[in-house]
Amino acid sequence: MTITQPTVTPLAATDPELANLITAEEQLQASTLRLIASENYVSGAVLAATGTVLQNKYSEGYPGRRYYEGQQVIDQVERLAITRATSLFGMDHANVQPYSGSPANLAIYLAFAEPGDTVLGMSLPMGGHLTHGWNVSATGRWFRGVGYGVGRDGRIDLDQVRSLALAERPKIIFCGGTAIPRIIDFAGFAEIAAECGAVLAADISHFAGLVVGGVHPSPAGHAPVVMTTTHKTLRGPRGAMLLCDAEHAKTIDRAVFPGLQGGPHNHTTAAIAVALQEAAQPDFARYARAVVDNAKALAEQLLARGYDLVSGGTDTHLILIDLTNTELGGKPAAKALDRAGIVANYNTVPFDPRKPFDPSGLRIGTPAITSRGLGVAEMATVAEWIDRVITAARAGDEETIIAVRREVAELMAHFPTPTGD
Is 229 among the catalytic positions? yes
pLDDT tens digits, residue range 192-251?
Answer: 999 999 999 999 999 999 999 999 999 999 999 999 999 999 999 999 999 999 999 999
Q: Can you tell me the mean pLDDT for 252-270?
A: 97
pLDDT at 1: 42
Q: Which of 34, 84, 171, 232 is catalytic?
A: 232
Is 384 among the catalytic positions? no
Residue extents of the structural domains in the chain? 49-279, 282-412
The closest of 211, 218, 228 to 316, measured between CA atoms, is: 211
Is 203 among the catalytic positions? yes
Is 185 among the catalytic positions? no
Q: Can you tell me the mean pLDDT for 257-278?
A: 98
Q: Can you tell me the mean pLDDT for 281-285?
A: 98
Q: Which CATH architecture has domain 49-279?
A: 3-Layer(aba) Sandwich (3.40)
Report the percent of the chain where pLDDT is more than 70: 98
pLDDT at 9: 85
Distance CA 267, CA 273 (A): 10
pLDDT at 419: 79
pLDDT at 327: 84
Q: Can you tell me the mean pLDDT for 251-263?
A: 97
Q: Assign 345 a pLDDT band (cuts: 50, 70, 90).
A: very high
421 pLDDT exceeds 90?
no
Q: Which of 86, 139, 229, 233 is catalytic?
A: 229
Is 60 among the catalytic positions? yes
Is 238 among the catalytic positions? yes
pLDDT tens digits, residue range 4-27?
Answer: 445 568 999 999 999 999 999 999
pLDDT tens digits, residue range 113-171?
Answer: 999 999 999 999 999 999 999 999 999 999 999 999 999 999 999 999 999 999 999 99
Q: Which of 57, 58, 289, 335 is catalytic?
A: 58
Q: Can you tell me the mean pLDDT for 73-102?
A: 98
Q: Which of 203, 278, 308, 352 is catalytic?
A: 203
pLDDT tens digits, residue range 297-317?
Answer: 999 999 999 999 999 999 999
The separation between the first and the last C-alpha atoms of the chain, rounded to the nearest angstrom, is 29
The amino acid occupying position 190 is A
Q: Secondary structure of 288-302 in the HEC alphabet? A: HHHHHHHHHHHHHHH
* Cβ atoms within 10 Å, residue 26: 13
pLDDT at 5: 47
Q: Assign 396 a pLDDT band (cuts: 50, 70, 90).
A: very high
231-253 exposure pattern, b = at least 16 Cβ within 10 A, e = fewer: bbbbbbbbbbbbbbbeebbebbb
| pLDDT top residue among 211 and 326 | 211
Q: Is 414 exposed, middle or buried (0-12, 13-18, 19+ CB in 10 A)?
A: exposed
Averaged pLDDT score across all residues of the chain: 96
The closest of 98, 214, 183, 332 to 202, measured between CA atoms, is: 183
Q: Which of 57, 66, 155, 238 is catalytic?
A: 238
* Cβ atoms within 10 Å, residue 93: 18
293-302 exposure pattern, b = at least 16 Cβ within 10 A, e = fewer: bbbbbbbbbb
Q: Which of 60, 117, 384, 397 is catalytic?
A: 60
Q: Assign 80 a pLDDT band (cuts: 50, 70, 90).
A: very high
- CATH class label, 282-412: alpha beta
